[in-house]
Structure 1
Amino acid sequence: MIDIPPTRITTTRTGGTCEWTLIPDVERVLFPQGNFEPSSLLKRFDHVALKTGSHRVVYRLITPGAVFYLKHYKIPNWRSRMQNWVRASRARLEWEHTCQLLDLGFDSCQPVALGEDRPGSFVRDSYLITREIPDADQLDEFVEETLPKLNENKERFFRFELARQLGQLTARLHLKGVQHRDYHAGNVLVTFDIASQFLKLWLIDLHQVSFGNRLTIRQSLRNFALLNSYFSNRGNASDRRRFFHAYWETLHEANPTSSKKGFVEYKPSLQMIESHCDREMWKEFLRADQKWERGNRRLIILEGTTSTNSCRGVSELGRATLEQIRTNPEQVLPVAGPVTLNSKTKPLEGFTKIVPEEETSGFSVRTAWDWGHAFIRRRLPTPKPLLFVKTSETSWLVTERIANAVSFPEYVEQVLTSRPFSARRQVNRQLAAQLAWRDRCEFRDRAPSLSNVLIKKETEQVYFLGLGYLEHNNGELEEADILKTLTAWTEEAMQLPGLTRTDRLRFLKRYLQGKPVHWKRYWTRIDSEVHSSLPAQSSH
Structure 2
Amino acid sequence: MPDHLTSTRPSIIGPASTSGLQRSGSVSFAWDVDPSLAEVLFGPDPRDPDVLPLEQWQKEGVLELVKTGRHRAVYRLELPDDPSGTSLYIKRYRAADWKARWRRLARGATSRREYRGMVAVADLGVPTAQVVAIGGPLWPGHDRDSWLVTVGVPESRPLDELLSDNDPAIGPALRREVVSQVAEILARLHDGGIWHGDLHAGNFLVQSWDGERPRVVLIDLHPLLRHRPTTARRLKGLARLASAFGSSVTPSERWVFLKKYMEASAAVAFDEVTRREWAASWRPMFCRRRERMWRRMDRHWARGNRRLLIADSAEATCRGLVFLGQRQLEHLRDRLAAVPPPDGTGVPLATGRGAVMTSMLRFDRAANGGSARDAWELGHALWRRGLPVARPWLYVETPRHGVLVVPVPDQAVPLAEWPDHESVEREVGILRDRIVRSGVSIDDLGSDQVLVDPENRDRPLLLLPTWTGKPVRTASPKVGPRAAMWLAAVSLAVAGCLSNTRNVAEPPVRHSVQAERFTLLSDVPLKKDHWLIDDLERLERHIVSGLSLPEPSREVVVHVFASRREYESFLASSYPQLPSRRAYFVGTPRRLAVYTFWGDRIQEDLRHEFTHGILHSSLKRVPLWLDEGLAEYFEVVGPKPGGVNTEYSDRLAAAVANGWQPDLERLEQLEHVADMQRVDYEQAWVWVHFLLHGHPRGPEVLRRYLGNLAERPYAGLLGPRIEESIPDADRLLLAYVRKLPTLGHPMVVTPAVGSSAAVSAP
Report the CA distance between 1:130 and its aligned residue. Answer: 0.9
Q: Report the CA distance shift for 1:264/1:182 in structure 2 as closer, same or farther (over 3 A).
A: farther
Report the CA distance between 1:111 and its aligned residue. Answer: 1.7
1:424: which partner in 2? none
State which drifts further: 223-232 or 488-497: 488-497
Given that 2:396 and 2:404 are in contact with CA atoms closer than 8 Å, whether structure 1 keeps it comes out as yes
Q: Report the CA distance shift for 1:202/1:495 in structure 2 as closer, same or farther (over 3 A).
A: farther
2:147: which partner in 1? 127
Equivalent position to 1:27, from 31, 38, 47: 38
Q: Report the CA distance shift for 1:20/1:371 in structure 2 as closer, same or farther (over 3 A).
A: farther
Q: Is 1:221 matched up with 2:235? A: yes
Report the CA distance between 1:433 and its aligned residue. Answer: 12
Given that 2:247 and 2:384 are in contact with CA atoms closer than 8 Å, whether structure 1 keeps it comes out as no
Q: Report the CA distance shift for 1:291/1:408 in structure 2 as closer, same or farther (over 3 A).
A: closer
Q: Is 1:358 matched up with 2:375? A: no
Q: Is 1:87 matched up with 2:87? A: no
5+ residue gaps in structure 1? Answer: 302-307, 317-328, 340-349, 413-430, 455-460, 499-540
Taking only aligned residues, the RMSD between alpha carbons, in angstroms, comes to 5.3
2:71: which partner in 1? 55
Distance in 1 (CA, whole Å) between partners of 2:245 and 2:429 is 16
Aligned residue type for 1:333: A
5+ residue gaps in structure 2? Answer: 6-10, 323-332, 348-357, 414-427, 454-458, 499-562, 570-762
Report the CA distance between 1:434 and its aligned residue. Answer: 9.9
Distance in 2 (CA, whole Å) between partners of 1:297 and 1:237 is 27
Aligned residue for 1:20, secondary structure, equals strand
Q: Report the CA distance shift for 1:148/1:314 in structure 2 as closer, same or farther (over 3 A).
A: closer
Report the CA distance between 1:140 and its aligned residue. Answer: 2.4
Given that 2:315 and 2:337 are in contact with CA atoms closer than 8 Å, whether structure 1 keeps it comes out as no
Distance in 2 (CA, whole Å) between partners of 1:146 and 1:314 is 20
Given that 1:335 and 1:352 are in contact with CA atoms closer than 8 Å, whether structure 2 keeps it comes out as no
Distance in 2 (CA, whole Å) between partners of 1:254 and 1:42 is 49
2:722: which partner in 1? none
Q: Report the CA distance shift for 1:228/1:254 in structure 2 as closer, same or farther (over 3 A).
A: closer
Aligned residue for 1:205, secondary structure, equals coil
Report the CA distance between 1:107 and its aligned residue. Answer: 0.7
Report the CA distance between 1:135 and its aligned residue. Answer: 0.9
Aligned residue for 2:208, secondary structure, equals strand
2:176: which partner in 1? 160
Distance in 1 (CA, whole Å) between partners of 2:335 and 2:269 is 70
Report the CA distance between 1:166 and its aligned residue. Answer: 2.9
Distance in 2 (CA, whole Å) between partners of 1:134 and 1:462 is 36
Q: Report the CA distance shift for 1:446/1:49 in structure 2 as closer, same or farther (over 3 A).
A: same
1:334: which partner in 2? 338
Aligned residue for 2:148, secondary structure, equals strand
1:46: which partner in 2? 62
Q: TM-score, normalised by structure 1?
A: 0.63
Q: Report the CA distance shift for 1:453/1:92 in structure 2 as closer, same or farther (over 3 A).
A: farther
Equivalent position to 2:275, from 257, 266, 291: 266
Distance in 2 (CA, whole Å) between partners of 1:182 and 1:47 is 27
Q: Is 1:441 matched up with 2:430? A: no
2:214: which partner in 1? 199
Given that 1:12 and 1:20 are in contact with CA atoms closer than 8 Å, whether structure 2 keeps it comes out as yes
Q: Is 1:8 matched up with 2:18? A: yes
Aligned residue for 2:381, secondary structure, equals helix
Q: Is 1:244 matched up with 2:255? A: no
Q: Is 1:104 matched up with 2:124? A: yes
1:112-170 Cα deviation digits (max 9, x unpaired): 2123499x9733433221111111122222223276325xxxx3432332343333222
1:175-200 Cα deviation digits (max 9, x unpaired): 1111012222121222234423x122
Equivalent position to 1:279, from 285, 288, 306: 288
Q: Report the CA distance shift for 1:127/1:379 in structure 2 as closer, same or farther (over 3 A).
A: farther
Report the CA distance between 1:92 and its aligned residue. Answer: 2.8
Distance in 2 (CA, whole Å) between partners of 1:315 and 1:497 is 34
Q: Report the CA distance shift for 1:103/1:387 in structure 2 as closer, same or farther (over 3 A).
A: same
Q: Report the CA distance shift for 1:353/1:90 in structure 2 as closer, same or farther (over 3 A).
A: farther
1:450-504 Cα deviation digits (max 9, x unpaired): 79899xxxxxx99988534241443358355597599799999977859xxxxxx
Q: Report the CA distance shift for 1:411/1:283 in structure 2 as closer, same or farther (over 3 A).
A: closer
Distance in 2 (CA, whole Å) between partners of 1:244 and 1:82 is 39
Aligned residue type for 2:283: E
1:193-242 Cα deviation digits (max 9, x unpaired): 4423x1222111111222343x2222222211222236653333432333
Q: Report the CA distance shift for 1:168/1:432 in structure 2 as closer, same or farther (over 3 A).
A: farther
Aligned residue type for 1:358: A
Report the CA distance between 1:448 and its aligned residue. Answer: 4.5
Q: Report the CA distance shift for 1:382/1:148 in structure 2 as closer, same or farther (over 3 A).
A: same
- Percent of paired sites with the same residue: 24
Report the CA distance between 1:108 and its aligned residue. Answer: 0.7
Q: Is 1:469 matched up with 2:467? A: yes
Q: Report the CA distance shift for 1:366/1:474 in structure 2 as closer, same or farther (over 3 A).
A: farther
Report the CA distance between 1:282 and its aligned residue. Answer: 1.0
Given that 2:156 and 2:206 are in contact with CA atoms closer than 8 Å, whether structure 1 keeps it comes out as yes
Q: Report the CA distance shift for 1:489/1:280 in structure 2 as closer, same or farther (over 3 A).
A: farther
Given that 2:16 and 2:123 are in contact with CA atoms closer than 8 Å, whether structure 1 keeps it comes out as no
Distance in 1 (CA, whole Å) between partners of 2:254 and 2:172 is 14
CA radius of gyration, larger in = 2
1:139: which partner in 2? 159
Distance in 1 (CA, whole Å) between partners of 2:173 and 2:129 is 26
Whose RCO is larger (CA < 8 A, sep 6+)?
1
Distance in 1 (CA, whole Å) between partners of 2:29 and 2:234 is 39
1:266-297 Cα deviation digits (max 9, x unpaired): 1121121122101211123234435666x578
Given that 1:453 and 1:463 are in contact with CA atoms closer than 8 Å, whether structure 2 keeps it comes out as yes
Report the CA distance between 1:62 and its aligned residue. Answer: 1.4
Q: Report the CA distance shift for 1:190/1:450 in structure 2 as closer, same or farther (over 3 A).
A: same
Distance in 2 (CA, whole Å) between partners of 1:296 and 1:398 is 18
Distance in 1 (CA, whole Å) between partners of 2:93 and 2:431 is 35
Given that 2:449 and 2:467 are in contact with CA atoms closer than 8 Å, whether structure 1 keeps it comes out as no
Given that 2:18 and 2:32 are in contact with CA atoms closer than 8 Å, whether structure 1 keeps it comes out as no
Q: Report the CA distance shift for 1:489/1:440 in structure 2 as closer, same or farther (over 3 A).
A: farther
Given that 1:372 and 1:467 are in contact with CA atoms closer than 8 Å, whether structure 2 keeps it comes out as yes
> How many matched pairs?
430
Q: Report the CA distance shift for 1:7/1:358 in structure 2 as closer, same or farther (over 3 A).
A: closer
1:358-415 Cα deviation digits (max 9, x unpaired): 365x633342243245346546676667777675xx354677xx8xx5x323789xxx
Q: Report the CA distance shift for 1:464/1:335 in structure 2 as closer, same or farther (over 3 A).
A: farther
Distance in 1 (CA, whole Å) between partners of 2:296 and 2:244 is 19
Aligned residue type for 1:408: P
Q: Report the CA distance shift for 1:13/1:171 in structure 2 as closer, same or farther (over 3 A).
A: same
Distance in 2 (CA, whole Å) between partners of 1:100 and 1:432 is 50
Aligned residue type for 1:2: H
Given that 1:2 and 1:26 are in contact with CA atoms closer than 8 Å, whether structure 2 keeps it comes out as no
Distance in 2 (CA, whole Å) between partners of 1:91 and 1:54 is 16
